[in-house]
Amino acid sequence: MTALEKATGDVVLKFEPFVLHVLCQELQDAQLLHSVAVNSGFRNSGITVGRGGKIMMAVRSTHCLEVPLSHKGKLMVSEEYMEFLIDVANRKMEEN
């Protein structure tokens, strides 16, 4: 909270979810992995095929969090809300 109160610009609490990139030899392999990932709860997963034919499967979690804390140096949250956000972020990390 002390650091937030001293901030002069915008401060954001951001939690990035789990991402696993898997290079696949065949499209069918990527499709199978995609199906397993989505059925396991990793709904932001996807398949990318590059120009050279490289097939990449990305397994992505949906556990994102992005919350503005201050704007132009003005604190926008209370200490109680910060404690709540930290608890939420820590739970997301455990779920990851």
For 24-61, write each residue's pLDDT tens digit. Answer: 999 999 999 999 999 998 999 999 999 999 999 999 98
Structurally, the chain folds into a number of domains equal to: 2
Q: Are residues 27 and 57 in the same domain?
A: yes
Quick check: pTM over 0.75?
no
Nearest partner of 60 among 47, 45, 70, 82, judged by Cα: 45
Task: Based on the fold, state whether residues 79 and 46 are members of the same structural domain.
Answer: no
Token readout for 79 is 């200490």
Whether residue 56 sits in one domain with residue 77: no
Print the domain residue range for 29. Answer: 18-62
Supply the DSSP symbol for 17: P
Tokens of 70: 């201050």
**Cβ distance 57 to 69 under 8 Å?**
no
